[in-house]
Amino acid sequence: MHVVHTVAELREKVMAWKGQGLSMALIPTMGNLHAGHLRLVETGLRRADRTVVSIFVNPIQFGPGEDFARYPRTLEADGRQLARMGTDLIFAPSESDMYPHGREATTKVAVPDLSDILCGVARPGHFRGVATVVVKLLNLVQPDIAVFGEKDFQQLVIIRRVVEDLNMAVDIIGIPTVREPDGLALSSRNRYLSPGERAVAPALYRTLKAVAERVQAGGPDPATYEAEAMEALRRVGFDPEYVAIRRADDLTRPASLEPPLVVLAAARLGQARLIDNLCIR
């Protein structure tokens, strides 16, 4: 496995593979890899000749007061896991390599509307930062496929939109969320939960399941389900930002409760901000 830290080294390696006619998969990550990430890597390894994993805690997708400084950085342990799996290359650039003109001055990729709803309300600028770094990584690696988790559902919808709008020749693959046995979605941010909060956290997924079951059973309007779910989360100790039933393809409010839909939620629990979603297909 190769580990490269600069754009120049990355380009040299991927150009050589392209020259040999090999197909490539990119798995963009911020490191601190867990079983959810490894599922994405497995998909890359299965579907392409060469798999590149990027590890970069992208400063421009964090807002002021968010957890950029304390976000776990575990490159050595990540590298060991990826090497064991047979990953071909890790790209772990420095900030100055990714943003040579600085965070503020760098060109940004904005996706109007989709970026301003749901998580975009509490995290203004977050999806612009995500879209920018993902476009840069796709341009650098020029993979045939790029693999993302459905756990960050809004992110996945936005990336698909960027790729479509900018006519980028890459297949975006979404992979279902990996969960703990009690239903909690795996996330690097689960480490911010105290033992007491960890015991409460699976209620987020249970609440989404209850909403999905009510949608499938039919009944009153989605706004009622959303409001009741928010109340259910408050009762067990969450501070919910939103629970929303949306169309799965473009996150608009559904005119009818016809699938494919997705129920999405974001809620704070102590120091952690948890997000989760459940597709109704």
Indicate the residue among 29 and 43 with the shorter CB distance to ligand PAF: 29
Indicate the residue among 10 and 230 with the shorter CB distance to ligand PAF: 10
Alpha helices by DSSP H, listed for 86-221, are: 95-98, 119-122, 126-141, 153-165, 195-200, 203-217
Q: Does an H or E element contain 19, and which?
A: helix 7-19
Positions that interact with ligand PAF (CB under 6 A): 28-30, 58, 61, 130, 133-134, 152, 155
Q: Which one of the listed residues 5, 34, 37, 101 is annotated catalytic?
A: 37
CA distance linking residue 64 with residue 171, whole number of Å: 33
Indicate the residue among 133 and 264 with the shorter CB distance to ligand PAF: 133
Dihedral pair phi/psi, residue 172, rounded to 5°: -95, 120
Is the separation of the CB atoms in 263 and 241 below 8 Å? no
CB of 115: closest distance to ligand PAF in angstroms?
Answer: 13
CA distance linking residue 247 with residue 221, whole number of Å: 15
- Residue 37 known to be catalytic: yes
Indicate the residue among 48 and 53 with the shorter CB distance to ligand PAF: 53
* 3 state SS of 107: coil
CB of 219: closest distance to ligand PAF in angstroms?
Answer: 34
Please give the structure tokens belonging to residue 162: 């960027």
CB of 168: closest distance to ligand PAF in angstroms?
Answer: 15
CB of 152: closest distance to ligand PAF in angstroms?
Answer: 5
Please give the structure tokens belonging to residue 184: 């909690």
CA distance linking residue 172 with residue 168, whole number of Å: 10
User: Which residues have a catalytic role annotated?
Assistant: 37
